[in-house]
Structure 1
Amino acid sequence: MRTSTPVTVLGLGLMGSALAGAFLRAGHPTTVWNRTTAKADDLVARGATLAESPAAALAAAPLVVVCVSDYDAVADVLDGPLDGRVVVNLTSGTPSRARALAEEVARRGGDYLDGGIMAVPEAVGTTDAVLAYSGPRPLYDAHESTLACLGTGLHLGDDPGLSATHEMATLVLMWGMLDGFLNGAAILGTAGVSATAYLPLAQTAIDTVAGWLPGYARQADHGTYPADDGTIGTHLAAMAHVVEESESLGVNAELPRLVKALAERAAAAGHGGSGYAALVEQFRKP
């Protein structure tokens, strides 16, 4: 007999369906709802219950997981009383919207956790999927065992906006790595070198930079920037070469120009002889 916590999943896109599937595999009685009901067919065949409306879905379980397109859609599906319900919102959004939604859920008698999924849908339900949550720690602790079937959980703090803030910071990091790789692939392409051939060296470079991060983190926190791996002035000379060569090759030079402009600002602010981590001060400015 099932004794696991009943859950409701609102939103059955690729990620929402993966979440519902993970709950089902873990033995949780799972109610689902989606505007397009056909998206629930597979889950219903596997044992889920399809609710006829968001209100019915909310009434079906004490733990409600929402994964829809945006916060406006969240507001639509949570339209109704939330007495005694714990809402876990895994929809991407901004910290301010997360805090406002937490206040609205509390006003209507519910409790709120915000969250971000650091994984592709195929990884949900495995330890490779990392889900970061923010909101009251006792609330997270009370439901940690249920949420654990979705992946590895991290609690970031009591402020419900922290999950969205961490997600934004992580996305900027990912975009920076991906843009850098693709820009490099474009440069090498002019010499007839394929992106696949570039891959081993690129991965080595990424691993090397990852090893620098603990030291950079300490420097950013303490506001001291020793030039352990070269000064910003030294980096500027290399940046100028990349910009010049990109322009001569007919490759888009916007990214290296931006990197160089930030380094020039840091040098103008007195950090020409500092380590590269001093650039954090440029990113802290409006």
Structure 2
Amino acid sequence: MSGRYLLRRTGLILYTLLVVSVLVFGITQVLPADAATMLLGENATPEQLAAIRERLGLNDPIWTQYLRWLGGVVTGDFGTSMRTGLPVLPQIAEALSRSLLLAALSIGLMLVLALPLGILAAVRRGRPVDLLVSLASYVGISLPEFVTATLAILVFADWLGWLPPTGYVPLTEDPARSLLHLILPVATISLILVAHVSRMVRSELVDALHTDYVRAARLKGLPERVVLRRHALRNALLPTITIVALDVGYVLGGIIVVEEIFAIPGIGRTLIVAVQNRDLPMIQAGALVMAATYCIANFLADLAYAALDRRIQYG
């Protein structure tokens, strides 16, 4: 992978984030919310509102406000939260770290389960295990997150009492309790991911096992596990990487619902609270950070492509 490609891809990410910043800033400007009123309250006098608008530069043209905000973002200053009165960046960073932990555990569990299930279903195509995996995949894809989360709380928290229903404990405070609180949210997110990715792995591996190069490898007398690992699986995983990268977008969307249901103070729940309170700086920062996360995930997918298939050259 050449430095020219890395430079070009970095430029594309920055351009994408620039477009997102314009859209996010523009949308938040037309929301039915007034920053001065949010800061001073409904009982503020017109003179007080006029003074705070002047101090915050809200009377300036929108493009001037955008450039001022963008300049702050570039230097790491996302503004001050209208709800808490604290700088936005530390709050977003803390919330994002919790969401990234939840997402990393969910994607890790997905990879541990989806790959073996997809491989097993492909190798045992048409047999009961294949039908069982396919049926479980259809069920997993059909259930939305809020249904899965509600059922998980009812069964494992209320009826059986095995796990805490909601809440969050920092990992640094009590690792055991923290992981215990994360089991149900991680399982909720992973269920759809496992169903989606296992189906993709099965489909691509079935096609790969019927290609000419796999037949040639078998005719050479290579053991079936070698044929599967070195020839079929390596090529079958390439499209799967794309699906996993796209699923990052699902995780970012689904995590909002899951964090709200399980009361996890991550980036998703932070955005919901910000929208409810018309906290414009927090909304702008949260949306921009989530867009950056998605862009980085797609970039890492390209790197994984090149690592799995040496024929792929980015120049």
Q: Settle same-fold status: TM greater than 0.5.
A: no
TM-score (norm 2): 0.25
By relative contact order (CA 8 Å, sep 6+), the higher-ranking structure is: 2
Structure having the larger proportion of residues in strand: 1
TM-score (norm 1): 0.27
